[in-house]
Amino acid sequence: MRPNILLITSDQQHWNTLGVINPKIKTPNLDRLCREGTRFTRAYCPNPTCTPTRASIITGQYPSLHGAWSLGTKLPESVPTVGDTFRNHGYTTSLVGKAHFQPLLSTPEQQSLESYPLLKDLEFWRHFSGPWYGFDRIELARNHADESHVGQHYAIWMEEKGLANWGDYFQKNWGKNSGPEREHSWDLPAEFHYTTWTAERTIANIEECAAQQKPFFAWASFHDPHPPYLVPEPWASMYDPADMEIGTLLENEMELLPEHFRLTQQEKPDFSAYQESGQANHGFNSHLTDETQGRKDMAVYYGMVSFMDEQIGRILDRLDELGLAEDTLIVFTTDHGHFLGQHGLWHKGAFHYEDLLKLPFIVRWPGKVPAGAENDALQSLVDLAPTFLAACEIPVPGAMQGVNQLGVWRGEAATAREDVIVEFRHQPTRVHLRTFITPRFKITVYRDQPYGELFDLENDPDERCNLWDNPEYREVKGELFRRFVNAELKREPTALPRIAGA
């Protein structure tokens, strides 16, 4: 019998926000997945921003190949997706929650369904639910918290649930909760929150597949804990800010780092040298934050995770009730990490520390994946598509660049990859970097620049000392460059095999 595939993702979740490794946060349902499956401790994103990584999840390709290379770009509809392959093999495919495969603006060159004014055209969304990017059924929402770009299927759901004045709970324009005095408790009742909606509609799609006795590939794509830090009660006050331990920046820690790191610690930094075509870069701003405010933000961030965890529990319970748990491969992860004061940084940007690149990553498949296990084998989100297909005994298309991790997930192989590559390209030339990670070392190079970063993760797991110019690591650096180039060669896909000499 072919298994069902359930992918559950959060958005911008730090790797240590799991109760099994962090006693300060409550995540009983994710902890349950850890007890019943395997937690992988060295999983990475292919790009630490939303659109590129989300596109990699469904294509099995890196952003530099699939084309959605940055936020504000579009994944071309012509790129084959894992959903296309599943559909061709009799699976029902669905996506509920955040997609973000397309930008908020639409141009003649890049038409976007997720843009204004279409995003708010509820009549359009009442009659369109797919197919789209390989998903038979989509139910989408674009906003985070009370952001103004709310609409699509989520707004229709709120209306159908009886919240006729849903617009009163969202910003009329940007900025309502973006200042230093922003509130953390949202007056939107939790029963109308998009976290509740994502779980409810995921369950509905699974129930429909169960009734039709059809295998499914379902993606429950939760929006939180992505900022703004805003959530309904009781989650907003679930954690005491006084108990939060925000990250730290050590004295002189940034002296050996590229200038854009140091600029973040100025009140009014000048990042104009990094801008191209007048476009700003995520994270290229002052990161100076009042400690009291930081603790409040972190407490609400934890509350957002716990709220999501509760709703994930609803999905898991329904799988049990339907008798589908044994035949469903579940993966929980996030699209990329998040800074909560580590190295003096907040949110995200071109700062390739583990806090931003490393992910929570749990695999459960009863009787197939070891229960209660931890595994440090390297993982990448680009591996999800080929591994899902392999688990269902479906041939993996040659155009996919990810590796099949099924043997590792099942505890039958020690590793499927020797290294991981992470891309970041916010501007075509000004902000373009790439990171190469091995079990011990991590090296980052910048386009057209002599500087970079080299960290020994074994001796310096908190990444406090950049070894790029350290003469004692000259041979290590050279060997990493050789392996880096080799990894670039290995990840080149073979869409079609060679069948003739000419």
What number is the average pLDDT over the span 350-358? 98
> Phi and psi for 84 in degrees, rounded to 5?
-60, -45
Q: How far is CA 190 from CA 145, 148, 300, 304, in A?
A: 12, 18, 14, 11
Instruction: Kindly state whether residue 499 falls inside one of the protein's structural domains.
Output: no
| Beta strands 43-44 and 358-359, pairing class | antiparallel
Instruction: Kindly state whether residue 215 falls inside one of the protein's structural domains.
Output: yes
| Beta strands 452-456 and 441-446, pairing class | antiparallel
Instruction: Kindly state whether residue 471 falls inside one of the protein's structural domains.
Output: yes
How many residues are present in the chain?
502
- Inform me whether the pLDDT recorded for 174 exceeds 60: no
Indicate the pLDDT class of residue 331, thresholds 50, 70 and 90. Answer: very high
Please report where in the chains the tokens 């998009």 appear, as a residue. Answer: 194
Q: Which residues pair with 40 in a beta bridge?
A: 375
Q: Which residues contact 311 (CB under 8 A, 6 or more apart)?
A: 195, 196, 198, 199, 222
Residue type, 259: E
Instruction: Kindly state whether residue 501 falls inside one of the protein's structural domains.
Output: no
User: How many domains are there within the chain?
Assistant: 1
Nearest by Cα to 300 from 227, 364, 351: 227
What number is the average pLDDT over the span 210-230? 97
| pLDDT > 70 fraction of the chain, expressed in percent and rounded | 98
How high is the pLDDT of residue 181?
Answer: 43
Q: Are 375 and 408 in contact, with CB atoms under 8 Å apart?
A: yes
What number is the average pLDDT over the span 358-387? 98
Q: 297 is written with which tokens?
A: 């933000």
Give ∠ CA 31-32-38 in degrees, rounded to 5: 80
How high is the pLDDT of residue 110?
Answer: 87
Tens of pLDDT, residue by residue over 393-439, are 999 999 999 999 999 999 999 999 999 999 999 888 889 999 999 99
Tens of pLDDT, residue by residue over 6-22, are 999 999 999 999 999 99
Q: Are 398 and 436 in contact, with CB atoms under 8 Å apart?
A: no
Q: Are 222 and 360 in contact, with CB atoms under 8 Å apart?
A: no
Domain that holds residue 15: 4-490
Tens of pLDDT, residue by residue over 420-432, are 999 999 888 889 9
What number is the average pLDDT over the span 496-501? 88
What number is the average pLDDT over the span 100-104? 95
How high is the pLDDT of residue 428?
Answer: 80
Tens of pLDDT, residue by residue over 48-86, are 999 999 999 999 999 999 999 999 999 999 999 999 999
Helix or strand run (H / E) with residue 452: strand 452-456
Q: 242 is written with which tokens?
A: 């006084």
Q: Residue 176, SS3?
A: coil
Nearest by Cα to 455 from 486, 431, 476: 476
Q: What is the largest CA-CA distance in the chain?
A: 70
What number is the average pLDDT over the span 89-95? 98
Instruction: Kindly state whether residue 418 falls inside one of the protein's structural domains.
Output: yes
Helix or strand run (H / E) with residue 420: strand 420-425
Spatial distance between the Cα atoms of 469 and 351, rounded to a whole number of angstroms: 18
For the chain, the average pLDDT equals 95
- Inform me whether the pLDDT recorded for 178 exceeds 80: no
Spatial distance between the Cα atoms of 337 and 42, rounded to a whole number of angstroms: 13
Instruction: Kindly state whether residue 85 falls inside one of the protein's structural domains.
Output: yes
Q: What's the CATH number where 154 sits? A: 3.40.720.10
